[in-house]
Copies of this chain bind each other. A is one copy, B any other.
């Protein structure tokens, strides 16, 4: 076997594929709205652990996008002003030091999609390829992939512009989340450890005032 033989992809759990989600509902009945929203999506293909700062969810890329899109849309349907922060990560099961050795990745996955929810959001998105240069044994080309991710946002109609530190997205909750996740998966084709942070705002009084 030559050293260039591709190894089989690791499973999503083994590769540390997951998300942390902070869902904020700006109304007195926020506990009821959040509890109902957490119960709304089918959870057969994900593992969900709620905490006081965020909810951790693991599963494959497609399952994470479906589950989080349904969660955020369910909260949005309450009519309350909702802010949702999604932090996707893959390729680094661990904290400061990844438990995976450099060279375990990248892991190839199809671009995730989600069914339209009918709930509209504005959003800000940041994508982070955490290249460990030579150690990964893979020649990274993350600028090419980030540009491909932003092109994808232009094509699917969610791209609204560039701001300090973030890309502004707007559209159906499903399209916004799928865009942030697609960029993460695209960059993950050449980089092992990639994170993607997207903040969605639904029914914002300041957006309505414009």
Residue ranges of A at the interface with B (Cβ–Cβ < 8 Å): 16, 18, 20, 22, 24-28, 30-31, 50-54, 56, 58, 81, 83, 85, 87, 89, 92-97, 122-124, 126, 128-131, 133-134, 143, 146-147, 150, 162-168, 195, 197, 199-201, 204-207, 210
Contacts and interface: CB of A to CB of B under 8 A. Distances in A.
Given A95-B167, A165-B87, A53 B199 contact: yes
Contact of A165 (B25, B51, B92, B122): B92
A166 B199 contact: no
The oligomer's copy count stands at 2
Contacts of A16: 164-165
Contacts of A83: 22, 24, 53, 83
A87 B87 CA distance: 12
A122 B27 contact: no
A140 to B, nearest CB: 8
A208 B16 CA distance: 30
A129 B164 CA distance: 17
